[in-house]
Amino acid sequence: MTTEKDNDLEQQDELFDVQTEPSQSDIEAELLLARQASGRRKQDAPAAVAKRIALRTVTYIILLVGAFLMLFPFLWMVLSSFKTGNEAALEFTFFPKKWVWESYHALFTESDFPIFTALGNTILIEVSVIIVGTFVSALAAFSFAKLKLRHKTFWLLFLMSGMMVPYATLMLPQYRAFEALNMTDTLWPLILPGFFGNISMMFFLIQYMRGVPSAYLEAARIDGASHFTCFLRVMFPLIKTAIAAQVIFWFVGIWNDYFAPSLYLTSRENMTLQVLLGQLNSGTSAKYLPMSLAGSVLSSIPMLIIYITCQKFFIESLTISGVKG
């Protein structure tokens, strides 16, 4: 029986080999098709390369034009700060006819223009708001992301709904409140609201913390750590990149803020840098235009430094926002 089965299997294998072995005509047909395909690729290669080069050239031209349109106002501002008042206000020339430095000299020497005091006020607001507000935002985000709280979804939506309320509707009630507290013409109206955190930063950090494994926190709790210790020693070091990205955006927003400080600050010794520079634009004399442009150039230097030194955090913030934990 075994011998008959072996013979049958050998016959089936031989039949299978005969059926699957390609014939000479099939091999020649496949070679012909391969040569034809190779010829078509060789014919299409120059056209494909030319199309790719043309597309890349058009893309570079569009990018260069867009970059020039975005850089032109800044270049014009820098160059006009070295012009005389009449040339900057009445003549449209890209390069100054005569390079003058009086505008920069006047920013630091005029007694009725306390630029160093305004710079100190701006830095005081930046440091106090960012340090306290960032810590509060991160702590609130940790509570919503990792703690078991009753109705936390409702309270999160309630806080997020505040982002839909425009500042114009809160402007008058908030001003009346600070006026009743005798805080107008001080820096407190610009500092106190930031102590309660930033809703957009909190929401961003919530999404980032949800991607952090809870096993780290559970191991810390087994060792006897409290919730605050888990946040401070475990979670906070893990979210430094996300916090740094949000701090940069918050810093830029506070530095460039003009509307809110212009509401509360009236005396020059309490003004921030942007409000003080805005006082130059209110003058009717053309001599203040180069001085105003020079102040704008100086105020933009920290933003350029932050962008150059913290470029990786901008890129990482975009990457973080596109990844769901």
Res 122: pLDDT: 93
Indicate yes or no: pTM above 0.85: no
CA angle 260, 265, 271 (to 5 degrees): 100
Res 325: pLDDT: 45
Output the DSSP codes for 197-210.
--HHHHHHHHHHHT
Q: Is the dihedral of CA 146, 147, 151, 155 positive or negative?
A: negative
Looking at the fold, whether 74 and 127 belong to one and the same domain comes out as no
pLDDT tens digits for range 248-273 = 889 988 998 988 899 999 888 899 98
Looking at the fold, whether 129 and 217 belong to one and the same domain comes out as yes
Say how far apart CA 311 and CA 305 lie, in whole Å.
10
Looking at the fold, whether 120 and 178 belong to one and the same domain comes out as yes
Alpha carbon of residue 223 to chain centroid: 38
Res 324: pLDDT: 45
Mean pLDDT, rounded, for 140-166? 87
Looking at the fold, whether 46 and 156 belong to one and the same domain comes out as no
* Residue 266, domain CATH: 1.10.3720.10
Looking at the fold, whether 118 and 265 belong to one and the same domain comes out as yes
Looking at the fold, whether 56 and 198 belong to one and the same domain comes out as no
Looking at the fold, whether 120 and 69 belong to one and the same domain comes out as no
CA-wise closest residue to 240 among 129, 125, 135, 127 = 135
Looking at the fold, whether 243 and 291 belong to one and the same domain comes out as yes
pLDDT tens digits for range 7-46 = 554 555 554 444 445 566 666 666 666 666 565 555 556 7
The rounded percent of the chain whose pLDDT value lies above 90 is 18
Q: Which two tokens stand for residue 106?
A: 């006047």
How many structural domains is the chain composed of? 2
Looking at the fold, whether 116 and 75 belong to one and the same domain comes out as no
CB 65 within 8 A of CB 43: no
Domain of 145? 111-321
